[in-house]
Amino acid sequence: MLLILIISAFFLFWTAIRKNNYWKNRGIPGPEPSPWKGNIDLIFNKNPSSLQLFDWSKKYGRIYGIKNGWFNTLVISEPEMVKELLFDKFETMYGHMVNPMIGNVNTNSMAHLFATKGRRWKRLRHIANPAFSTFNLKRALPIIDDTIQNNIKILKNTYLPGNYLNIVDYFTELTFDVIYRLAMGQKDSKEFCQLSRDTLTVFNNNIFDYLSYIFPWLGLNVLSPFLGATGNLRRDPGQILIEKIYEAVIRRKEEKLKKNKKEEEEDEENLKNKKWVNFIDLFLESEAENVELKEYSGTFNRSEKVEKNERRNSIDEIVMNLFLFLLTGFDTTANTLSLIAHNLVIYPQVQKRLFEEIEEICGLEEGEIINYEQLAKLKYADAVFYETQRLCPMAAALVFFIKK
């Protein structure tokens, strides 16, 4: 037994040293990693972590290597190479790097669109695509406008001349209400909004993520079961949010089963793009009880078609994709809108020109809403958005596994 422990310890130590020297042996510059943790301490201690990557880019150049816990990671900020990887060599991408506690994203029933890869990713993406079609988004404009008008009234009633206003909270409520109504088909979003904000707070550099990146086996086999078993006891907001989404999906499914023939025909009309279709209804149209989750071998081909009998998803996949859309949509949008508002205050000449463009192209009468064609003509508004994203990018880094 002692001999086995000694051999195991030696093997682990040798593996750690070999992984530490991975980039150095290939002539790729980068910060010196510590034996077990690599460079993860510097990444986790910086908020946001992309600022640490930015600092390293200034020191080591646009291509350098780091060790993120147990994982060797090549950081690329060369625009042409990034473009080539994301477009021309997309098939080499094995999928997004996800938390090791998730485990095998091909067979984990609770994996969402962002976490999955290969054929499973393509199947889920194919099912979700109609929700983001131009025609369906046009139908969403009245819902978006209704929420905006309500929030403008709240803003007018809240703001007092001479007082400060936390515009981030305002935009957070606004964007979450829009996304919640589009995704869930319901209006009362307050409880879900707070849970989502709390979930993002927990997600940001918590100790369990930290340990799982250093010791992936520990994360998958010990930490993940522990977090799942104690979620309710700890009042984990992420787990509570998933449970509430699950309840909403089951409730909506039961409502659809109880509908009469006329109501079913109305739903069919909605699906034919006569009216906005919320994400729950869209996903439930493809719901199946026995969705086979399996490993896929071979090279992923993005041009390969998804067969008709594959166009289905499970209740777990529906719940997790709704969870994904709620979390990833509102925070980035709210922060972007807040930064745009901040920049418009600092640069009044830009604010004036933007206002003039909107007046010229939209020029709405009382009760009218902006249409999709008018939005496409707001070129200066587009420029304001992209410049804000350039100065303060919301998604400053994408992490992929590479197959070859």
pLDDT at position 356: 93
Residue 262 region, left (φ>0) first, then alpha (ψ -120 to 50), else beta?
alpha
Residue 361 belongs to a domain = yes
Question: Is-contact 287 127, C-beta < 8 A?
Answer: no
192/248 Cα distance (integer angstroms): 11
Examine residue 58 and state whether it is found in any structural domain, yes or no. no
User: Which residues of the chain are under the pLDDT cut of 50?
Assistant: 274, 298
Domain span holding position 230: 129-391
CB proximity list for 214: less than 8 A, separation 6 or greater: 36, 37, 38, 40, 69, 70
Q: Is residue 200 part of a domain?
A: yes
CB-CB contact of 400 with 94 (8 Å): yes
Inside any domain, residue 47: no
Domain at 332, CATH number: 1.10.630.10
The answer to whether 402 touches 94, Cβ cutoff 8 Å, is yes
pLDDT of residue 260: 59
pTM of the entire structure?
0.83
Give the dihedral sign, CA 207/213/214/220: positive
What is the total count of domains within the chain?
A: 1
Torsion of CA 220, 222, 225, 231, to 10 degrees: -110
Answer yes or no: are the C-beta atoms of 180 and 173 closer than 8 Å. no
* Residue 48 lies inside a defined structural domain of this protein: no
Do the domain assignments include residue 305? yes
**Does 218 fall in a domain?**
yes
What would the pLDDT profile of 101-114 be if each residue is shown by its tens digit?
A: 988 888 888 888 88
**Residue 298, pLDDT score:** 47
Burial grade of 218 (CB within 10 A; 0-12, 13-18, 19 or more): middle
399 belongs to a structural domain: no
Count of C-beta atoms within a 10 Å radius of residue 112: 23
Residue with token string 């992923």? 300
